[in-house]
Structure 1
């Protein structure tokens, strides 16, 4: 063969290769073997401009409104409650930030945390005095874990000082480090788990306390920044029967027949502790609130061993009255550890049904209040010779996400924020131990990190809300 013909070989090889690739690009099937997958090739993909998929083309043709594709109506409010706002078009299982949803109820303008974020902006601008958060949860937050660190961070940025609401008695009083709390043993505690009589109205904490013959409770501040003194004090109690409460040796006559009544006090700095004694016929008490100046306050409503369904036992009249006496701008619901009692269970319809009723009631009783549902943390169990994430975690997260999407609330996936699959094992067995050997509960170090993660997520939303 001549040299001239040989010189054409490279051209023939390149041409043949292009023809083969062009032919392969027209194959309309896929084949996979183990980790290899053969798909249709688009040789011009890098040269194309982005165009809608066939499905999106159909949607555009049907509505010809780009706001519908992003899940927004013309006012920038999510048109579909199951489509997140445009800043959060993320997979709810893996996204570590907060997702916000519009309410599906006609005429309900509450969107995710919009009211709360607006309140924060007004607080920072000096247009309002206080912003309050009611943080409901189980043993994950008892002893002011998570909430204590969240409160500290928020108060350092937005102002305010003080621990907020503290019940009359508590099974974790000796464990809590944000206030010193002691009490007599003769208080009668009615709560979710001991079947209170029908005439007993439970307080927002799930507890109502009745004094005995010589009942007392004492609160003292702790030597920590923002927690070292009492200034604005409010005693919350039920319908009064002309009893007398003595606070730091000064007598006050209680009055008021509402489900929740409030006695406001200013603390004498010469008496840093608060000693309360009651005399008279038995009447209900809920707790004492501690605040100091304008700013933000986080009330810890922990109750060991519950799933959140128990909030359905709260009286609508009590909730509405509480909102008048101590209004909340954000309600956080942080449950899951007690729902995952069978780690391999993946059907949580039994939980979703009553929780829908709880959310319906709370949204109705607290109109205009923002809600944030915190998805469960990772929970591991031993299978064979190692600990792994329980299969029920993902199933429960979907239920919690759907509750948020279906009720116009915000949603934060704690599981994703702490690292996702297998993260609890790392938190328990890592160089810095952040969770207990039950592979479920955080220790103080881990709780502080969770509080910091939630603070970061909230502040990201706050900064986004400030953008034009």
Structure 2
């Protein structure tokens, strides 16, 4: 064969390879190895100002995608995004915070705008305190996630103190942000043990009644922002001249409100706080709060084994009174692990219906408060000798996202922030182990990472809100 023909070989090889690649790209076929899938090739993609996927978002062909934010900055009807300089976001893959405006007929805080505004006031010195109520299940018990979020926020905006701590806790020995011990004779009424109608549950889902010799002791720990007690408040229910002893000093408790507060005026410094039952009629206690005179606080309201629907059992009168005594500027709702009890289930309408009632109540009881719904973390289960993401994860994320759009809250997709599909396997089996072998719960290091990711997402919104 002549040299001329041989010199054309590279050209033939390149053309032949290109033809094969184009042909393969037209296949919409997947096979089981790591869920690999061919994607169609768009030869003109670099020349387009709007990609085919972007066109799908803007034309509304897929209701699970978000439309472009209104460039005028005006709020749009419920289910729409608030002004955002970013362009298009798919809620299943976006790792930042998405914000939604409530329906025009509902007067409630939009997204996390109120929270961002009070953060600016706190930074400017025109506001003394900002508080976050972080509700969740066992994913946050022991102050996991919340401790790292709190530490980062307090380093940025000031404040010292762990916030609310219940009277007793099943994870007190596991928690590292406060030393917490107590006697065994406290009666704990909560979501799961059918409290009598006369008992009003506290915001934590617990209410505690003392026995004859009940006591609880709290001590600071040697950590930044947590090494001393400055302001201490005892939260309790209705009481008539009941007596408690705190650090060998007697206090008389009175109050007919669902939530009452006793502020300790003494200088607590680095000492422990020991609360003892002083006698008289048994009265309800909720917990003790630890703060300084200014700054930001994150209260951990964890409750093992719940799905979030239990919040619907909280009394409106109690919530209103709590908001008067210790107002919250942001409520975070972080659930999902206990909803995904059947990994292959993909219909969560049974969960969405009661959660809508919960959101109806909370938005009505806390109209000026910002809300952030956190989409579930990845959860894996064993199938065909390997661990894969449960099909129910994305189905549940859609329900949680629909709640956010329907009620005008903010939304953060933890699943996406972790890395999306298969991320839990990587967190469990990676060189740095970030989650437990149940392929559901984070370990302490993984929780710290999630806390850092959430802090970053919040600060991105805060800095965006600062721009003119």
* 1:78 matched residue in structure 2: 76
Is 2:111–2:408's contact at 8 Å kept on the other side of the alignment? yes
How far did residue 36 of structure 1 move? Answer: 7.9
How far did residue 405 of structure 1 move? Answer: 0.6
How far did residue 329 of structure 1 move? Answer: 0.1
How far did residue 111 of structure 1 move? Answer: 1.3
How far did residue 280 of structure 1 move? Answer: 1.4
Q: Does 1:280 align with 2:280?
A: yes
Paired residue secondary structure (1:149): helix
Q: Does 1:166 align with 2:165?
A: yes
Paired residue secondary structure (1:124): helix
* Structure 1 pair 55–230 and aligned structure 2 pair: CA distance change class (3 A): closer
* 1:322 matched residue in structure 2: 322
Specify the structure having the higher radius of gyration (Cα).
Answer: 1
* Structure 1 pair 253–387 and aligned structure 2 pair: CA distance change class (3 A): same
Matches within 5 A, 1:135-214: 135-214=134-213
* Structure 1 pair 38–391 and aligned structure 2 pair: CA distance change class (3 A): closer
* Structure 1 pair 243–80 and aligned structure 2 pair: CA distance change class (3 A): closer
Cα distance in 1, alignment partners of residues 39 and 329 from structure 2 = 53
Cα distance in 1, alignment partners of residues 307 and 281 from structure 2 = 35
* Structure 1 pair 54–156 and aligned structure 2 pair: CA distance change class (3 A): closer
How far did residue 225 of structure 1 move? Answer: 1.0
* Structure 1 pair 271–387 and aligned structure 2 pair: CA distance change class (3 A): closer
Q: Which runs of 5+ in 1 are unaligned?
A: 1-29, 60-67
TM-score of the two chains, using structure 2 as the length reference: 0.86
How far did residue 108 of structure 1 move? Answer: 1.9
Cα distance in 1, alignment partners of residues 196 and 132 from structure 2 = 30
Paired residue secondary structure (1:166): strand
Matches within 5 A, 1:375-454: 375-454=375-454
Paired residue secondary structure (2:148): helix
Cα distance in 1, alignment partners of residues 361 and 443 from structure 2 = 33
Cα distance in 1, alignment partners of residues 289 and 41 from structure 2 = 65
Q: Deviations over 1:327-355 (max 9, x none)?
A: 00000000000000000000000000000
Q: Deviations over 1:106-139 (max 9, x none)?
A: 1525210000000000000000000000000000
Cα distance in 2, alignment partners of residues 304 and 38 from structure 1 = 48
How far did residue 74 of structure 1 move? Answer: 5.5
* 2:218 matched residue in structure 1: 219
How far did residue 81 of structure 1 move? Answer: 1.8
How far did residue 54 of structure 1 move? Answer: 9.6
Cα distance in 1, alignment partners of residues 244 and 384 from structure 2 = 59
How far did residue 248 of structure 1 move? Answer: 0.4
* Structure 1 pair 71–463 and aligned structure 2 pair: CA distance change class (3 A): closer
Question: Runs in 1 of length 4+ with deviation above 6 angstroms?
Answer: 48-59
How far did residue 73 of structure 1 move? Answer: 8.6
Paired residue secondary structure (1:217): strand
* 1:246 matched residue in structure 2: 245
* 2:364 matched residue in structure 1: 364
Q: Which runs of 5+ in 2 are unaligned?
A: 1-24, 30-37, 61-65
Is 1:143–1:172's contact at 8 Å kept on the other side of the alignment? yes
* Structure 1 pair 109–166 and aligned structure 2 pair: CA distance change class (3 A): closer
* Structure 1 pair 49–388 and aligned structure 2 pair: CA distance change class (3 A): closer
Is 2:78–2:104's contact at 8 Å kept on the other side of the alignment? no
* 1:121 matched residue in structure 2: 120
Matches within 5 A, 1:260-279: 260-269=259-268, 272-278=271-277, 279=279
* 1:94 matched residue in structure 2: 93
Cα distance in 1, alignment partners of residues 57 and 320 from structure 2 = 45
Cα distance in 2, alignment partners of residues 443 and 321 from structure 1 = 35
* Structure 1 pair 51–216 and aligned structure 2 pair: CA distance change class (3 A): closer
TM-score of the two chains, using structure 1 as the length reference: 0.86
How far did residue 390 of structure 1 move? Answer: 0.3
* Structure 1 pair 187–85 and aligned structure 2 pair: CA distance change class (3 A): same
Aligned residues: 428
Is 1:32–1:38's contact at 8 Å kept on the other side of the alignment? no
How far did residue 105 of structure 1 move? Answer: 4.9
Cα distance in 1, alignment partners of residues 449 and 51 from structure 2 = 42
Cα distance in 2, alignment partners of residues 86 and 271 from structure 1 = 45
* Structure 1 pair 267–230 and aligned structure 2 pair: CA distance change class (3 A): farther
